[in-house]
């Protein structure tokens, strides 16, 4: 199911067709999203050659002059993660060597974000490592959406604009006229996100699921803080990977008397066995955005995919015009 959202912010100005300085390019990870962004901006996605050598190495060439231009490279680092990340880095390097005036890496989905701190000895902080790679490749700034944790912004030594998919998700929920809403955080770490989400939904009440993570992608729901009996529960998270956390949370909400359960997330990572869990009847609807492309074989009846193209396009335009990005979310 698809839905075109009416965003909760107004453009600062109408994007102009004069794009002599502004150039938009796309990696191969999510070309349809880049094309939607280009339509919003009234321009075309720039020509780029992508080839692969016999041993798997990538080759990228920008096929138009970008000397002195402001270049925006759209590439979510989704599956296959390493290939898409490497493609982004090579494209940044190609733009730098083509004398672009400024290069902005537009990353709708930021990979390796879950290892954002040390929780045990002798482990890597990959969120910081990826930030270093993007910076060293030659990016001048980054535009990212719904980072796994806000602290990742501090890992960059270049400007980073952090935008949120919540206006699109909230607009869709409001259009459904749901009654007796309660916003639920699937874990303690997501309380800040859920509280901000609830505030935009007329200060809806908040509930919190207490979980214990036994291993990566393995979570055990322990307790529910808050009242959901007879209410419409909206589970809010930044991503759905294997759907273990959110499906176990939905099962608990049903046991505690929730009348309906909706799941909302910006990033549809959807690793196995996510689809079977999400389509098992626990949810009235699973609402995600198109930061990551959802192929046809991963679509199911309860799934709704919303577009964030206008939101990203507006953010790109404001950055290009040196206007405020944060005011989009006030």
Q: Just list the catalytic residues.
A: 211
Phi and psi for 185 in degrees, rounded to 5? -90, 130
Question: How far is the C-alpha of 234 from the C-alpha of 250, rounded, in Å?
Answer: 9
Report the largest interatomic distance among the alpha carbons of the chain, rounded to a whole angstrom: 61
Two structure tokens written together for 77: 């680092």
Question: How far is the C-alpha of 314 from the C-alpha of 163, rounded, in Å?
Answer: 11
Strands 303-306 and 285-289 come out as parallel
Q: How far apart are the first and last CA of the chain?
A: 29
Cβ neighbors of 82 (< 8 A, separation 6 or more) are: none
Is residue 167 within 8 A of residue 191, CB to CB? The reply is: no
Is residue 40 within 8 A of residue 99, CB to CB? The reply is: no
Q: Position of tokens 């962004």?
A: 37
Question: How far is the C-alpha of 113 from the C-alpha of 124, rounded, in Å?
Answer: 11
Question: How far is the C-alpha of 91 from the C-alpha of 83, rounded, in Å?
Answer: 12
Rounded to 10°, the helix 31-41/309-320 angle is 60
- Enter the DSSP assignment of 106: E
Which is nearest to 78 in space by CA: 264, 312, 243, 268? 268
Is residue 23 within 8 A of residue 46, CB to CB? The reply is: yes
Cα 116 to its chain centre, rounded Å, is 17
């Amino acid at each position: 199911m698809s839905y075109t959202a009416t965003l909760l912010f107004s453009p600062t100005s109408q994007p102009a067709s004069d794009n002599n300085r502004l150039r938009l390019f796309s990696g191969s990870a999510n070309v349809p999203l880049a094309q939607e962004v280009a339509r919003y901006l009234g321009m075309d996605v720039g020509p780029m050659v992508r080839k692969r050598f016999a041993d798997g190495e990538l080759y990228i060439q920008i096929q138009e002059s970008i000397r002195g231009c402001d270049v925006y490279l759209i590439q979510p680092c989704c599956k296959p993660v390493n290939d898409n990340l490497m493609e982004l880095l090579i494209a940044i390097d190609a733009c730098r060597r083509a004398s672009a005036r400024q290069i902005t890496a537009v990353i709708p989905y930021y990979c390796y974000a879950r290892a954002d701190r040390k929780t045990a000895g002798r482990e890597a902080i990959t969120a910081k490592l990826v930030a270093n790679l993007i910076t060293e490749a030659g990016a001048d700034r980054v535009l990212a959406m719904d980072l796994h944790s806000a602290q990742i912004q501090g890992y960059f030594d270049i400007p980073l604009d952090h935008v949120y998919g919540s206006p699109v998700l909230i607009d869709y929920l409001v259009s459904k006229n749901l009654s007796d809403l309660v916003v639920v955080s699937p874990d303690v770490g997501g309380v800040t996100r859920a509280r901000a989400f609830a505030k935009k939904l007329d200060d809806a009440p908040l509930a919190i699921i207490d979980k214990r993570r036994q291993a990566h992608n393995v979570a055990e729901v322990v307790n529910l803080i808050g009242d959901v009996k007879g209410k419409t529960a909206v589970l809010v998270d930044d991503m759905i990977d294997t759907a273990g956390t959110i499906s176990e949370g939905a099962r608990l909400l049903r046991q505690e008397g929730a009348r309906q359960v909706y799941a909302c997330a910006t990033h549809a990572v959807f690793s196995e066995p996510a689809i079977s869990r999400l389509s098992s009847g626990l949810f009235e609807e699973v609402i995600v955005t198109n930061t990551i492309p959802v192929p046809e074989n991963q679509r199911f009846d309860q799934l709704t995919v919303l577009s964030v193209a206008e939101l990203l396009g507006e953010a790109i335009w404001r950055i290009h015009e040196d206007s405020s990005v944060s005011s989009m979310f006030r």
